[in-house]
Amino acid sequence: MNKGNQGLRIGIAMMVVVGVIAWLAITGVEANKSYYVTISELQAMGSKAYTRHLRVAGNVLPGTIARSGTNADFVLVENDKKLHVAYIGEEPPPDTFKDNSQALAIGTFGHDGVFHATQLQAKCASKYAPKNTPGQPGDKPAVAATNAAAVMPAMAAK
Q: Which among 78, 85, 87, 80 has a CA at the least distance from the CA of 39?
A: 78
Q: pLDDT tens per residue, the chain (158 residues)?
A: 566 688 888 888 889 999 888 877 776 655 555 677 788 888 787 777 777 788 888 888 888 888 888 888 889 888 888 888 898 888 888 877 888 888 888 888 888 888 888 888 887 655 455 555 555 455 544 444 444 444 444 444 44
Domain boundaries, the chain: 1-33, 34-127
One CATH from 1.20.1740.10, 3.30.70.270, 2.40.50.140, 3.40.50.300 for 34-127? 2.40.50.140
For the whole model, what pTM was predicted? 0.56
Phi-psi category of residue 70: left, alpha or beta, with phi > 0 → left and psi -120 to 50 → alpha: alpha
Give the model's pLDDT for residue 135.
Answer: 53
So what's the pLDDT on residue 30?
56
Burial class (CB in 10 A: 0-12, 13-18, 19+), 81: middle
Question: Residue 80 gets which letter from DSSP?
Answer: T
